[in-house]
Structure 1
C-alpha cells in the first residue's frame, strides 16, 4: 500500500436506474448505462483523471487536484445535457466529490477519508446536481464555477457536520439564483425545528444536528421494527438541504401519509416529511396497524 496523499475523489451514478430497468428492460438498460459510463470515463481522462472502478451504474474517479475534479464534474453534467441520445432517453447523473487524503492499494483501488466523504457527497446529490464539501470549493483558485450553500451534513467518521455546496455547472444561468444562503444548524435548532417520532409508546426527537436515524428489522437500527416485510435497514431519516428527509432503502418500500393527503409509497427514493403524518415500513397502514410510526414537525 502506498502512503496516503491528497487527491480528489469523484463518484457519479446514473439517476433513476431502477426505473430505467423497469421501463427499458434489462438488456437495453445495461446498454444505456454502459454508454453513460463510457462518456463519463472520456471526460474524466480529458481532465487528467483516472477511473478507479465502475460498479453497476456508478463510476469512481480520482484526480490530482480539486480543480481537475470540479471541472470534470461540470463537463460530465454538460455532456449528459448535450448528448441527444441521453436527452432522448431522459438520462441524467448525480455527482459528489471531495479533495483530501486517500490511500492507494497495489491493485489501484483507493481508500480513506476522502473516499468516504466523496461517497457521502454523491449520496446527497440529486439528479443533474454536483455536491462537494465547502472545504474543497474554498481551496479552488482562478476562474471557478459558482456555488450555492446547502447547509451542513453528517459524514461517517467525522465528529461534527461539515458544510456542503452545490456547484452551478449550467452555462446559461439566467433565471437561476447563483448564491444561496447556507442553512445553519444552530439557527435551525434555535428556531425550534424538531421532528418527533412516536412508535409503541417510544418517543424520539430529531433535530437538525442529529445523526441519521435508521429504521429496520436489525437491532443495530435506532428504531427496530421486527416484521418479515421490513428490511434489515429499511429507511433513514436525515436533516439535509434544510428539511427532514426520509430515504427508503428497502425491498418493499415505505408508506407515508402527510396530513390528510393520500398515502404515498416511497421506494428507493426520498420524501420531504412535512406537517404531521404516519410512516409504515413495508406495508400500507391499513394492513400494518400494529407498527405504524407517527411523526410531527415542530
Structure 2
C-alpha cells in the first residue's frame, strides 16, 4: 500500500464533493457599536439554539465560526438547502421579539463543489470562495444559491428558486448565476401572507380576479394609488371575463404540470430501483466469478498433488494399496470438477441476470427522461397560456422607481429625505442630496419597518409620511442651515488660511480590521486609528504578537474613490525578516464618511472621526515661521543625508547593533517623513524618520518597534543637524542633512 504521507512529510490532502453553506451577519459593525455585550450574547445564543441543531438535523457539520461568520459543510445538497431554510425561519421567529435595529439578519450563500480537506477537517478551495461571494448577493434574512445547487435540488427540495440573474464576483473568473431560495407554498397562501388577509372559498369573484392578476403579473397591487397612470391603464384594459379565463387556464396548466411531476417522480423511483437491482446483480456476479476461480485453482492443485504422489509410489510392491489410493484420488478429482462446473453455471446465470437488470435500468432511464421532458413541456405550456391571457405588468420595484421619477425630486428634496431618515434611526451617513446605495438601503429598511414593499424608492405618500414623522428634526435642520447662512463672510486675511476642501479625506479615521472569516487561518481583530494627510496615512501597533498575526502596521492610500490598504507583518516565529516584510493588500472604495476594503480573508471598515467645525476667527495676519529670522531661507526643498546610531559601551545584545539610515526627503511647509521598506536590523528596526523645522529649530522623530524616539537640533539655512541620546536604547545618535 502507498504511504498516506506525501514527499516532505506533509499529510496528504483529500478531495470530496460537498454542499457548502456560508453565512454572514448583516450590519455587524452597527450592532457591535450599539451594544457589544448584548450582540455577542445573542450571537452565542443563536449559534447554540439555532445553527447547531439545524445543521446537525441535516446531517452536516460546522467547519468554523468566526465572529459573525459561519461556515458549514453537507454531504447532500438537498439537506443543505433544507437546513438553510430551517435556519432562516428560526431566525425570523427569534427576531420577532427584538427591535428593528437590533435584529440579527444573516445572509446565507449555498454552493456545490469540490473541496480540499486537511488533517484538521478544515475545507479549502475555489468552492469555498464561490460560496462566500454568493453570500454577499443574498438579501439580509435571505438565501442565495448557485446554479449547481439549483440543478441538483430543484426536483427534490421543498422550495422554489427565483432567478437572480448573472453577477460578476471579485476573484471569480466566470459569471455566477444566482437564485434566491424560498420555501415552496401555494399561490393563495403566499398572497395572503403578503397582503395580511385570509382568502376563503366564499370570497367574491373580484378577489379571485385580483389574485389572477397578481399571479400572472409577478407582483401584488397593495399600493396602486401610488403607481403611474400607465400601470393603472394596463390593469383596467382586462375585463372580468378575461381575468377569469386566465385563472381557469392557469389552473388547468398547473394541474397538468403537477400530473407530469408525479409521473416524473414515479419514473425516477423505478430508475432508482432498477439501478439498485443492477448493483446487486453485479455484486452476485462478481462473487460467483471469484468462487469459480477459487474452485478451479483448488482443482488444479489437487491434480498436481495426485500426480506427484503417483510418481512417488511407482516403485512400491503393494499394488492393492496403490489401486485403492488412485481410486480415492479419482473420486476427489471428480467431486472437485463437479463443483467447478456448478460454479461456472452459477456465474453464467448471474451474468444473464446482470444483463437483464442493465436492460431494465436503461428502459427506466429512458422513461425518466421522457417524463422529465413532458414535465418541462407542461410547465412551458402553463407559462405560455398565462402570457396569452394577460399582459405582462411591471415589477413592483420598477413601478416604485417610475413613481419616484414622477415626483421630480431636486437636490433639496433628496437631502431632506436623508435628514428625515437619519432622525428616525435609519442613518444615511450624510445628507449630500444624492440617493446612493446607502440611502436606498435605508429607504428600504424604513419601508420594511412600516410593513410596506422594500423597493428602496419612495412614492408621493411615503415622501409625505417621512417628512411628517421627522417634522421636528427637519425644522431644527432648517434653522441650523439658516444660521450658517447668516455667518458674515470670511475676510481676505482669514481666506488666505489653508483649509481642506469639503471632499478632502484628511483627518482621523477609526474602525476595525478583521481576518479569518473563511476559516483558513487563526482569526484576529485590530482597531486601527489612521490619521490621513493628502489621502494617505499609517497606523502602527504597540508591538507585533501572535494575537495580531505579528502585525507591524496598516497603511491606507486613497485615490479618488479607490482605496488600497496594506498590512505589514513580521515573519513567522517573531523575528524580523530581512528586507521587505510580508504584506497583505486589500482593495476597496470610499463611501461618504466610510472606507471599505476586503479580500477573501480580511475586511477593514473605517469611519471618519468627525470633529465639530467652528467658523474661523478673523484676526491680524499671521506671521510666517521666519519673520524673526529674515536671514534664514525657507527649508522647503530636497535634502539628503544620514541618521546613524552607534553601538555604545555595552554589548550588542543589550543595546542593539549600530546602524545607518540613508535619507532622501523633500520638505514641504517645513516638514517631511521618510519611510523604510520594512523594519530590520540594518535600520534599527525603524518604520520611519520624520523631520520638522520651525524657525531655526529642527525636531527629529524616529518610529521603531514599540517605541518612538526624538532628537532636537538646529537649522542654519544650509544644513539640518541634530545629536542626542535615544532613551529607549541609550545610544548616541546623529542626524545630518544638506540641501541637494
TM-score normalised by the chain length of structure 2: 0.26
Which structure carries more relative contact order (alpha carbon 8 Å, separation 6+)?
A: 1
Q: Say if 2:167 and 2:175, in contact at 8 Å, map to a contact too.
A: yes
1:254 paired to 2:600: no
Q: Within 5 A, what are the aligned runs for 1:1-298? A: 1-24=12-35, 26-38=36-48, 39-83=50-94, 87-88=98-99, 89-140=102-153, 141-155=155-169, 158-169=172-183, 173-174=190-191, 175=194, 177=218, 226-228=535-537, 231=556, 254-255=591-592, 265=593
Q: Say if 2:130 and 2:172, in contact at 8 Å, map to a contact too.
A: no
Corresponding residue of 1:218 = none
Q: Name the one with the larger strand percent.
A: 1
Q: Say if 1:80 and 1:86, in contact at 8 Å, map to a contact too.
A: no
Q: Residue 134 of structure 1: CA displacement? A: 1.7
In 2: Cα distance, 1:139 partner to 1:232 partner: 45
Q: Residue 112 of structure 1: CA displacement? A: 0.9
Distance 1:249 1:64, change over 3 A: same
Post-superposition CA distance 1:18-55 (Å, at most 9, x none): 1111212x222211111122221221111111000100
Distance 1:48 1:161, change over 3 A: same
Q: Say if 1:132 and 1:164, in contact at 8 Å, map to a contact too.
A: yes
Q: Say if 2:26 and 2:105, in contact at 8 Å, map to a contact too.
A: yes
Q: Say if 1:116 and 1:156, in contact at 8 Å, map to a contact too.
A: no
TM-score normalised by the chain length of structure 1: 0.60
Post-superposition CA distance 1:54-112 (Å, at most 9, x none): 00011110000111111111001000011267645422211011011001111110011
Q: Say if 2:158 and 2:183, in contact at 8 Å, map to a contact too.
A: no
Gaps spanning 5+ residues in structure 2: where? Answer: 1-11, 195-213, 220-382, 384-393, 396-533, 539-554, 564-586, 598-606, 614-740
Corresponding residue of 1:215 = none
Q: Say if 2:15 and 2:114, in contact at 8 Å, map to a contact too.
A: yes
Structural RMSD (CA): 3.8
Distance 1:54 1:236, change over 3 A: farther
Distance 1:5 1:157, change over 3 A: farther
Q: Say if 2:19 and 2:113, in contact at 8 Å, map to a contact too.
A: yes
Q: Residue 113 of structure 1: CA displacement? A: 1.8
Distance 1:164 1:85, change over 3 A: closer
In 2: Cα distance, 1:236 partner to 1:41 partner: 40
Q: Say if 1:37 and 1:57, in contact at 8 Å, map to a contact too.
A: no
Distance 1:154 1:233, change over 3 A: farther
4+ runs deviating over 6 angstroms: 178-181, 233-237, 281-284
Q: Residue 132 of structure 1: CA displacement? A: 1.0
Look up the SS of the partner of 1:173 in the other structure: helix
Q: Residue 227 of structure 1: CA displacement? A: 2.9
Gaps spanning 5+ residues in structure 1: where? Answer: 182-224, 238-247, 256-264, 270-280, 288-298
Q: Say if 2:109 and 2:132, in contact at 8 Å, map to a contact too.
A: yes
Q: Residue 16 of structure 1: CA displacement? A: 1.4
Q: Name the one with the larger helix percent.
A: 2
Look up the SS of the partner of 1:127 in the other structure: coil
Distance 1:84 1:18, change over 3 A: closer
In 1: Cα distance, 2:178 partner to 2:562 partner: 20
Q: Residue 283 of structure 1: CA displacement? A: 9.8
